Structure 1
Amino acid sequence: MASCLPGLVRADLALGSGTLTTVSDGNLTLPGSFLFDAMPQGELSSILADYNLATDQITPDCNLALYRDSERTVLFDVGSGPDFMPTAGTIVDSLEALGLAPEDITDVVFTHAHPDHIWGLLDDFDEPLFYNANYMMGRAEWDYWWNPNTVSEIGEARAAFAVGAKRRMEAIKDIVTFFEDGQEVLPGIAALSTPGHTPGHMAFEVRSGSRGALVCGDAIGNHHVAFRKPNWLSGSDQDPDTAVATRNMLFDRLTGEDLAVIGFHLPQGGIGRVDKMGDGFVFVPEDS
């Protein structure tokens, strides 16, 4: 169901005794070249026209997944905070619209450590904002950003990403719990390795009762070319070829197992299903 508070609480999905909600962290403003430069420009323009999008600039939504049951309030990623983009960093307001404060979050589970997913970790005093939470991150993702060589090897355009990630990770280094592919990180929440966007990116299968959903983070990064042309390389992915294989694996699972999809940058709240469309797919929002 879509929320009546656009820009704050966005959509929700009942899962047995629990509920998955997306809460907005605002949106990003990016040059289209960040995604599109390596794509076939003629065909790209035609696809983007179908979605009323331009090639020069994109403004993707940022949807944080929030899972609640009788025991836990689990936040997947923490958003951008105040230091990344002026259009993002609204997670505290979005939680407040749900009647939640940072101290109500029992667990924070990271998909990966790009700025719009981890820079919201710290408060004004450089302490963890969600101070009652248990923090969890995939071991491979942590090791990649913790490696002192990453900042010099990641490329000039992303060097600030590495510096910013390391700074936030230092604040939780003594309390973070690591997990591996296939591990149940919390009851009913299992990790799924989805590398490519970053080396250790993780998605999560959430199940309660008979229904399941995949919290995909940025492994499926948009509702247009990632769906329509999953084999196209994207400039947003650190390892584009691996990201293609990951997208295809996820689409196979989402369609073959009838799982709901929760995407960080998908529109209309980011919760929906995946349908086949020609040689690609289409995102169908939950309230459609």
Structure 2
Amino acid sequence: MKITRRQMINRTSLGALSLALPRTVWAQTSLEMGGITLDTLSDGNLVLPKSFTLGETPPEGAEAILADYGLTGDTLTPECNLTLLRSDDRTILFDVGAGPDFMPTAGKVLDAFDALGVDPFDVTDVVFTHAHPDHLWGVLDDFGDLMFPDANYYIGQDEWDYWTDPDTVSTIDENRVTFAVGAKNRLDLLADQIVLFGDDQEIVPGVLSRLTAGHTPGHMSFEVQMGNESVMVVGDSIANHHVAFAKPEWLSGSDQDGPRAAETRASLLDQLSQSQMRMVGFHLPNGGLGRVERRGDGFFFVGEDA
């Protein structure tokens, strides 16, 4: 088993803390069908002001929805769930997490790899839903080396075009300038080895692209075929388990194009509720694996806990 410099540092630090802290479960949920294993891996969590989701002036009823889920106070701490798909000949990682440079509460995916006994060198393919920091920045380790050096990389053409455009840094919202700089720097490093694709394409065997734009200009979800069933990896097109489900038509401060994201979200939730296809949400609780139920005018996330 190959060990990177970052793994050596992390394992030394974790060993020093192991007597003082309870063990954290980093590999959260698992599903096996048709000879394929799907695991969700915790990269930690974010700490965000509530206004990042609700806006500075929350819609009437938003606080009550959060209260129904026991969420009070001025901050939210959404989980970050990566998806790992393993078959006989491929190990596919959907998004790579935040890495060491975004938030101290995130960037923990190596612990999940250790929990599963998977080495970063085992990853054959890395597929990005979009290029926000908590999904992309983990492509590099502490030393600026590729975290998954033997992998092929894939991102949607529209997403690539947006974040590699030199004009994006001057046209994006001021509070997202660091997002633009960080995305361009990392994607530029992948320019010679990344595969670009469009909507409704089989990018690797059994993985189909589904354009779910709005959160970012080229955000992609992926329908993963597992035997006779499929699972939809939705990234941030459905970004939380409370307001996004109860009121998908509401605009969210986390989306770059609010109206388009709301339309995408409502359509995807309706599709998933009717088909009863399992889904994985990047910021949904308990690993993010579950199904969508329609309840009244909205929807409800029914998780499948480990």
Give the TM-score taking structure 2 as reference length: 0.90
Q: Does residue 1:111 correspond to 2:113, yes or no?
A: no
Question: What amino acid does structure 2 have at the position aligned with 1:100?
Answer: V
Aligned to 2:236: 218
SS at match of 2:97: coil
Larger Rg: 2
Deviation at 1:49, TM superposition (A): 0.7
Distance 1:39 1:21 in 2: 37
* Offset at residue 135 of structure 1 (A): 0.4
CA contact (8 A) 1:39 1:232 kept: no
Supply the AA of the counterpart residue of 1:262.
Answer: V
Distance 1:105 1:254 in 2: 29
Decide whether the 8 Å contact of 1:80 with 1:117 is kept in 2: yes
1:49 aligns with: 67
Q: Find the counterpart in structure 2 of residue 264 from structure 1.
A: 282
Contiguous gaps of at least 5 residues in structure 2: 1-22
Q: CA deviation at 1:126?
A: 1.6
Q: For 2:103, what is the secondary structure of its paired residue?
A: coil
- How far has the Cα of 1:40 moved from its partner? 4.5
Query: 1:49 aligns to what SS in structure 2?
Result: helix
1:23 is matched with which residue: 41, 64, 74?
41
Q: Give the CA deviation at 1:6.
A: 4.5
Instruction: Write the distance in 1 (CA, Å) between the matches of 2:274 and 2:60.
Output: 31
Deviation at 1:14, TM superposition (A): 2.1
Q: Name 1:146's counterpart in structure 2.
A: 164
Tell whether the 8 Å contact from 1:77 to 1:108 is kept in structure 2 after alignment: yes
Structure 1 residue 60 displacement after superposition: 0.2
Query: 1:238-271: per-residue Cα shift (whole Å, max 9, x none)?
Result: 0010001111121122112221010000001100
Q: Which residue of 2 aligns with 1:62?
A: 80
Cα deviation, residue 215, structure 1 = 0.0
Deviation per CA, 1:60-94: give whole Å up to 9, x if none.
00000111111111000100001100000001111
Aligned residue for 2:102?
84
Question: Taking every aligned residue pair, what percent have the same amino acid on both sides?
Answer: 55
- Indicate conservation of the 8 Å contact 1:38/1:234, yes or no: no
Q: Count residues with an aligned counterpart.
A: 284
Q: 1:185: which partner in 2?
A: 203
Q: Which residue of 1 aligns with 2:270?
A: 252
SS at match of 1:196: coil
Structure 1 SS opposite 2:261: helix
Q: Under a length normalisation based on structure 1, what TM-score does the superposition of the two structures give? A: 0.96
Deviation at 1:125, TM superposition (A): 3.0
Q: Which runs of 5+ in 1 are unaligned?
A: none
**Whole-Å separation in 2 of the counterparts to 1:75 and 1:201:** 16
Q: Which residue does the alignment assign to 2:248?
A: 230
Whichever residue aligns with residue 86 of structure 1, its letter is P
**Match of 1:44, as an amino acid?**
A
